[in-house]
Structure 1
Amino acid sequence: MMQSQEIRKQFLAFFENKKHTIVPSAPMVIKDDPTLMFTNAGMNQFKEFFLGNKKPKNSRVTDTQKCLRVSGKHNDLEEVGKDTYHHTMFEMLGNWSFGDYFKKEAIQWAWELLTEVFKVDKDMLYVTIFEGDEKEGLQRDTEAYDIWKEFISEDRILNGNKKDNFWEMGEQGPCGPCSEIHVDIRSAEEKAKVPGKDLVNKDHPEVIEVWNLVFIQFNRKADSSLEELPAQHIDTGMGFERLCMVLQNKKSNYDTDVFTPLIREIETITNSKYGKEEEIDIAIRVIADHVRAVSFAIADGQLPSNTGAGYVIRRILRRAIRYGFTFLNEKEPFIYKLVDTLENQMHEAFPELRSQKGIIENVIKEEEHSFLRTLDQGLQLLDNVIAGSKSKTISGKKAFELYDTYGFPIDLTALILSEKGFELDTESFDVELQKQKERSRKATKIETGDWHELIEDDEEEFVGYDMLQTKVKITRYRKVTSKKDGEMYQLVFNLTPFYPEGGGQVGDKGYLEAPNGDVTYILDTKKENNLIIHYTRNLPVNLNATFEAVVDLDSRNNTAANHTATHLLHQGLRTVLGTHVEQKGSLVKADYLRFDFSHYAKVTTDELKQVEEFVNARIREQLPLEENRNIPYQQALNEGAVALFGEKYGDTVRTIKFGESMELCGGTHVKNTADIWHFVITSESAVAAGVRRIEAISAEGAKQYFESQSEAYDKVLAVLKTKNDPIKVITSLQEENVALRKEIEALQKEKAKGLKQEIRNGLEDVNGVKFLAQKVDLDQAALKDMAFELGSEFKNLFALFASENNGKAMLTCYISKELVAEKELNAGQVVRELGKLIQGGGGGQPFFATAGGKNPGGIPEVLEKAKTYIL
């Protein structure tokens, strides 16, 4: 049986022999395409070629691309685990032609590889072609049909509709008809009952699409019309896991050696057995699939978080944790232990798994700890919902609050409710969920118009490393509209001095000046599919003029200083903390910088001082910039340049060197470290398990910082009424404050003693309970002491004290433990309910709890209602 690693190698070797260049997989996390969070198809990294924004170095390439489909148009998440052939993260094997060969070669080579190299039985195969679409004015793809007839009988060539056999990049952009290759792996008995052609594209688990050959020949415009592309391209994608299933004669992707090592490890860790019980099988499949997706995402630099791509990764991991919690009875972190198996299995094809193994394990483990705590909290909250329900149907709105606010999975809510004899109002939950989706969609929806081309220009040139002002022509423009930014315009120039956002550095701002003096402000600069795009609120009056493009000098200089400071900071961290430190993210702006890095402990104050001094020493050394803009990638690494994981590098790269610091970087930098002036670390914190964050300032930001510190110091001297020794004065004030606090505490205790007898005299006997509800002028600590002293005297005490301080109300409730058990009273519940009357809330233990609120006027009603709990 051919192993998966050999299958991958044979695919790539086959197309290499067909004069294709093997290229590495692009990162799974996308950074310069606003339409996508993740690579969801093999073609994503080649979009710039299909769009005509850049000319490819090689017209034929092949690769295996790591993909993720969990959001947007391609969303398989809820199917994963329930069937045997959908995945979140998967590999897509592909071969590509950029204006080179077309349908004939693509079809011929696909057939040759499958039937002659991989020896797939021809009688197992069916193919589909595009049947045409009258509304679109598209004819049936008879060209593909005629080519297929040379290899396969006509009764196995099936027509497919637009949904299945017309591939589109998105609402706009390159598109075209496609031919799918399907494999029927059913038994002979099953095939005799129902012909395979009747099951193609019917979601049958054993009649599956394995390869899609896309013939890109049109461009979809904003008005939905189609126009012929000047060059025709081939884009194919074959599911690696499905191919392994076919070649290894399995009925499920999860039975191939792509997944069996992970499944065996899950069985061992969780003491469960795969293949015996459907619920357990689904859980194991979910975990085996999801650990791959999360591990590859973290290796590419995307940490779990509460927003954007990070939220998607957190959601995938939490789904895996939840399945382990519910169906495998795993209440402690265990998924992180699978990373070792995954790394051993796949590091040869994807070396980032080995180099990033430690950070992957730590992040997953911490996320597991965190979510398991959330599950515990959610279970308690769900118990409260059930206890407070007056019917056996739980409101979907309540369930949505658990889901949205606390991250408690809705399917787990439904399961627990069912076990306890309740049911969930799923319709009202769906309504709430739809409202949220609609809010999100409206907030993020961007309407993009077609490009209006003014000048044919093959590729825009960036000149911003050498000049901040130059004459430019607008080559194309389009209008974009979003709820966040309103109506804006995107401009592309024949050359530009504006740096586009990338590598953590924000985009340049500035302006365009027309010959008549009119100014159009550039509000931001970004890069999209290799185009440098300049954002403006208005279009220039004469679009065909020659403009003076001017970058904001102060902003650029301060940003450059901060960017160079991040390089020196990276070097300083590796020097002080160790070479295990790797950059995990950065943000470089004009006013400050943020730097995320791998490290497994809080950076101490002394270490931060050492790092700060290291950077400032490099600034004092006045190190000049040594730059190489066109060096082969491997040569740069061999010379010691530091590359960042999750970044996509070309064949040639730019290196930035200041002394011993050398990194691959496309950002802007100072000419000499002296231009940074000074470097100050302003904060250090945790981002995730094993990832720390430093925020810092330099240049103008550092100057403003010292000026504000000096001004604040002068104000302190003025307040203290001293001129030269504020420390002595502050120390004296602190000592005096401690003495006064002790004196106040002593007075409070004396006051409490006086009140204690008064309070004891006020106790009532109500239904066998010593009851008291009274407003008392004591602080919280003294009230607690008094409550516990009374509780030691009376074993049937119910006491509620109210107090007022600085315009706020406080409640303190004590209930003897005997009463808690006998009468099922709960101090925490009492203060939560009564706290609403003072416009606040609180909680605590069943025998002692406190609450606070902003409405002291509600205290009389609180004291009046307290007695109802024992009547």
Structure 2
Amino acid sequence: MKSQDIRQKFLDFFESKKHSIVPSAPMVVKNDPTLMFVNSGMAPFKEYFLGNAQPKNNRIADTQKCLRVSGKHNDLEEVGYDTYHHTLFEMLGNWSFGDYFKKEAIAWAWELLTEVYGVNKDILYVTVFEGNDEDGIPMDQEAYNFWKEIIPEDRILMGNKKDNFWEMGEQGPCGPCSEIHVDIRTDEEKAKVEGKSLVNMDHPQVVEIWNLVFMQYNRKANGSLENLPAKHIDTGMGFERLCMVLQDVKSNYDTDVFTPIIREIETITDKNYGKNNEVDIAIRVISDHVRAVAFSIADGQLPSNTGAGYVIRRILRRAVRYGFTFLNKKEPFIYRLVDVLSKKMGKAFPELKSQKQLIENVIKEEEASFLRTLDQGLVLLNGIVEQTKGDTVSGEKAFELYDTYGFPIDLTALILSEKGLKLDEEGFNAELQKQKNRSRAASEMSTDDWTILVDDAEQEFIGYDALEANVKITRYRKVTSKKDGDMYQLVFNLTPFYAEGGGQVGDKGYLKDTHGDVVYILDTKKENNVIIHFAKNLPDHLTETFKAVVDAKQRQRTEANHTATHLLHQALREVLGDHVEQKGSAVHSKYLRFDFSHFSKLTTEQLRDVENFVNARIDGKLPLEENRNVPMEQAIANGAMALFGEKYGDTVRTIRFGQSMELCGGTHVKNTADIWHFKIRSESAIASGIRRIEAITSDAVKDFYFDTNRAYFEIRDLLNNAKDPVKAVADLKDENNELKKQIETLLKDKAKNIKGDLKNEMTEINGIQFLAKQLDLDASGMKDLCFELGSEYNNLFLLFAAENDGKALLSCYISKELVAEKNLNAGQVVRELGKYIQGGGGGQPFFATAGGKNPDGIKEALEKSENYIE
């Protein structure tokens, strides 16, 4: 059975059981501070489990893209070494929100596996929660009784809290679970060891394929459990593992989910899968990781140096280094796998097809960048090896190479072993642990349970129509972190405060009680569909009615910038073409940032055309046309633009200004005239095929023109009130260039004049002409002098130093004959002597330079240079 058919049979089965089939949510999480990525099938439905929202149907089924590479669920380092762990995987799931419970979930799981898919009942085992005295939770006798009606009791196994009690996190909904395991070993293997003894023992052919979670408890901050008001079902079946079972293979990578990618890797690298263990691991790593990276980019997360972007970059770099080390690929190639991937999975996940070109461009650029890093790292590692005394390389040095330059530690260890050296792994791990401790300390946070003041789960946002309202605090909790100290999170029954989302910052403002006391709202965010207001302290009278007031000036400026992003999007598509798509935005009160897909730098004329287009719409005084609660299909049919990577509900809000129409939940001006003016401040590249525009509107533009005008008159004053300041500056520039040329000529003449004196100062040591001296020259002059002297000698060692603008410079020249005969290296010399001037440098073996911030160290550096030839 093909993987596409396996996926469809699952969805069809649960549709027949009156479940609504919903599409996979974007893998990148935006409104849940506890997650970077969707790491389980239930993550997109947390708001339903928490009771913060009601689903359209209490029965739902889907296939969800999941990523497990950080935090509690981290499978990254296992990927490739076994045959059943992945970074990205599909989780097939069926969900009940207060509807059916254990009996139906168990019966339907068994029916689907054994009757629809035809899995042999004799290879299945199930587990049941055995209970836990510490929590006071009894054994799940109810699930056990349902299971023994359909499977022999000797195939029902007891599971501990680790394996059979599922928790959302440190706090929140949780409950016992029943796992279904499959034993696909050969009959000969089964005869040797009984399958039940291998369940949950990480055996590659005795694996869990489906987990049925029975959500019936709530975990509180103090660790205690309470019953949930409604019981839920949350199931997750590993799609890749299910395909392994139904396609009768022994590895996920032997299913048709992966084989087309593996065949393409074999073609590109001229390596064969299944012949060599190291090659096999590398191919599995790459075939897995390209899926994770491609889906992440399609969902709007580009590789970067922070947060979720860093996780994606780390995954891709792991794939690159396996290709570099074990497949001998020294040029980008992983991007070429995207075509196969989009053909294989594009039907189920159309974003792979629509974003294919962007995904390829980004991956190719990231590969090339990291390969350059590897080349640089190899040079640095060679330098470390040269400086190493003995047979063990310092763990501290290796960690610096890993942490500062991104050079993989396993690659360091491999190269050292090839050179007959060892790595101080304990020292490296100690440095790594120090870094982890620093990061952990910086991000430590404790969260109290919610204190309920009003038993009202419904919350209304009225901020589109009002900036003030009389509100009640329905619940609050204290959150403590090293970064912010104590903060309080408040929830109101209704709120005019807009919560951060869609790139727009959250509102600020204040609460005022009847006594005139004020509590300032410092930020507003949304968590699992609840709008949360942040304050440094609690009101004195928590149960009163408060006047909630949004900072109107900040909201107005933010609205102007948000509306400008819509007009900018329209302008870019008009000026550059329909290939332009929004890839991210940040809307603040002082500026806006807009990321978009485009293949080249915008010209001055294009930027001017974009600005003029937006300002024409501002001058046109276009009114806001807003429609709320529009069915998604109708909004798209009417021409509204949806953004990839955004999660939309069944009904949406549309925003139109003239011909610009988008799905958007943010706040906007009532008329484009309120923006006043639009000005682009910068345009740049942030990734291959992704450009960024930063711009300002409203008061920020007024300040910009005021500052520009003031600077203009200050420049005119400096130019003695020249009638044409531009021409006056151009004349000064020409004059400056001419003077620079004259200075360069003078310095060269000066160097020639002192060359004879320097030749007389040389001393011969061990057959080498040696000179170490401080000169009154710049870096260029010292270089010219080195090569002029070098042309007259084949046994020359020079170290020149100079002080320029309070900084120290070193230049080292060694005749190429000495480099070959005496194993001298100018690059190594300046790196080591650079420590005396508190700097560093490098270059070629025969010529290298260094710079530092301590000119007082020049004398010692010159003195130490003689040690290299004595």
Give the TM-score, by structure 2 length. Answer: 0.99
- Rounded to whole Å, the distance in 1 between the matches of 2:394 and 2:759 is 46
**Any stretches of 5+ residues in structure 1 without a counterpart?**
none
Alpha-carbon shift at residue 517 of structure 1 (Å): 0.6
Q: How far apart are 1:790 and its partner, in Å?
A: 1.7
Amino acid at match of 1:134: D
SS of the aligned residue for 1:413 comes to helix
1:212, 1:173 → 2: CA distance? 19
2:471 is matched by which residue type in structure 1?
Answer: V
Instruction: Quote the offset at 1:850 in angstroms.
Output: 1.9
Please show how residues 296-695 of structure 1 align to structure 2 within 5 Å: 296-695=295-694
Q: Which moved more, 1:431-440 or 1:278-287?
A: 431-440
Aligned pairs for 1:634-783 within 5 A: 634-722=633-721, 724-783=723-782
- AA aligned opposite 1:277: N
SS in 2 for 1:825: coil
1:779 maps to amino acid: D
Q: Is the 8 A contact 2:253 2:259 kept in 1?
A: yes
Counterpart contact for 2:383–2:828, Cα < 8 Å = no
Q: Secondary structure at the match of 1:42?
A: coil
Secondary structure of residue in 2 paired with 1:319: helix
Which secondary structure does the structure 1 equivalent of 2:236 belong to? strand
Query: Structure 2 CA distance, aligned partners of 1:745 and 1:600?
Result: 41
Amino acid of the structure 2 residue aligned with 1:488: M
Cα distance per residue 1:817-848 (max 9 Å; x no partner): 22222222222222222222222222222222
Equivalent residue, structure 1, for 2:143: 144
Distance 1:260 1:710 in 2: 64
Shift of 1:638: 1.2
1:249 maps to 2:257? no
Distance 1:34 1:714 in 2: 49
Residue 49 of structure 2 corresponds to residue 50 of structure 1: yes
Q: Which residue of 2 aligns with 1:264?
A: 263
Relative to structure 2, which stretch is displaced further, 711-720 or 581-590? 711-720
Return the alpha-carbon distance in structure 1 between the equivalents of residues 425 and 803 of structure 2. 44
Q: CA deviation at 1:458?
A: 2.8
Q: Tell me the distance in 2 between the aligned counterparts of 1:695 and 1:73.
A: 37
2:774 and 2:116 map into 1 onto residues whose CA distance is 88
- Supply the distance in 2 between the matched residues of 1:865 and 1:145 (Cα, whole angstroms): 79
Any idea what SS the aligned residue of 1:587 has? strand
For residues 737 and 433 of structure 2, the distance between their equivalents in structure 1, rounded to whole angstroms, comes to 56
Which residue in 1 is equivalent to 2:861?
862
Query: Using a 3 Å threshold, how does the CA distance of structure 1 residues 465 and 398 change in structure 2: closer, same or farther?
Result: same
- Which residue of structure 1 aligns with residue 23 of structure 2? 24
In the alignment, the residues of structure 2 paired with residue 746 and residue 145 of structure 1 have an alpha-carbon distance, to the nearest angstrom, of 93
Matches within 5 A, 1:81-230: 81-230=80-229
Q: 1: CA distance between counterparts of 2:837 and 2:432?
A: 32
3-state SS of paired residue (2:469):
strand
Instruction: Please say which of residues 374-383 and 143-152 is displaced more in the overlay.
Output: 374-383
- Aligned counterparts of 2:422 and 2:461: Cα–Cα separation in 1: 61
Give per-residue Cα distances to partners, 1:487-527, cap 9 Å, x unaligned.
Answer: 10000001000000000000000000101110000000000
State the AA in 1 paired with 2:592: L
Deviations 1:651-705, CA, capped at 9 Å, x for gaps: 1101111111111110110011111111111111111111111111001111111
Change in CA separation of 1:549 and 1:425 when aligned onto 2, cut-off 3 Å: same
- Structure 1 699/46 Cα, relative in aligned 2: closer, same or farther at 3 Å? same
TM-fit CA distance, 1:723: 5.6
Partner of 1:59: 58
749 and 395 in structure 1: CA distance in 2 versus 1, 3 angstrom threshold: closer
Aligned-partner Cα distance in 2 for 1:337–1:628: 43
For 2:243 and 2:420, locate their aligned partners in 1 and report how far apart those are by CA, in whole Å. Answer: 44
3-state secondary structure, aligned to 1:793:
coil
**How far apart, in 1, do the equivalents of 2:557 and 2:222 lie?**
43
- Counterparts of 1:861 and 1:399 in 2: how far apart (Å)? 28
Question: In 1, Cα distance between the equivalents of 2:763 and 2:559?
Answer: 75
| Contact 2:825–2:846, Cα closer than 8 Å, also in 1 | yes
How many Å separate the matches in 2 of 1:381 and 1:742?
37
1:3-42 mapped onto 2 (5 Å cutoff): 3-42=2-41
Count of paired positions: 870
Q: CA deviation at 1:386?
A: 1.7
CA separation of 1:743/1:394 partners in 2, compared to 1, >3 Å: closer, same or farther?
closer
In structure 2, do the counterparts of structure 1 residues 804 and 357 end up closer, same or farther at CA, with 3 Å as the change threshold?
same
Q: CA deviation at 1:562?
A: 0.3
Q: SS at the partner of 2:726?
A: helix
Aligned-partner Cα distance in 2 for 1:670–1:175 = 43
Q: Which amino acid aligns with 2:205?
A: E
C-alpha distance in structure 2 between counterparts of 1:69 and 1:515, whole Å: 49
Alpha-carbon spacing, 1:427–1:782, altered in 2? closer, same or farther (3 Å): closer
Cα deviation 1:356-385 (Å, max 9, x = unaligned): 101110111111101111111112222222
For residues 56 and 815 of structure 1, the distance between their equivalents in structure 2, rounded to whole angstroms, comes to 76
- After superposition, the Cα gap between the structure-2 partners of 1:823 and 1:646, relative to the gap in structure 1 and judged at 3 Å, is same
Question: How far apart in 2 are the matches of 1:859 and 1:90?
Answer: 59
CA deviation after TM superposition for structure 1 residue 786, in Å = 2.2
Cα deviations by residue, 1:745-803 (Å, 9 ceiling, x for unpaired): 33323323322222222233333222222222222222222222222222222222222
The normalised TM-score by structure 1 is 0.98
Aligned pair in 2 of structure 1 residues 326, 710: CA closer, same or farther (>3 Å)? Answer: same
2:194 maps to a residue whose letter is: P
Shift of 1:128: 0.8
Taking structure 1 as reference, are residues 255 and 311 closer, same or farther at Cα in structure 2, changes over 3 Å only? same
Which stretches in structure 2 are left out of the alignment for 5+ residues?
Answer: none
Partner of 2:817: 818
Q: Letter of the 1:14 partner, please give it.
A: F
Asked if structure 1 preserves the Cα contact closer than 8 Å seen for 2:722 and 2:728, the reply is: no
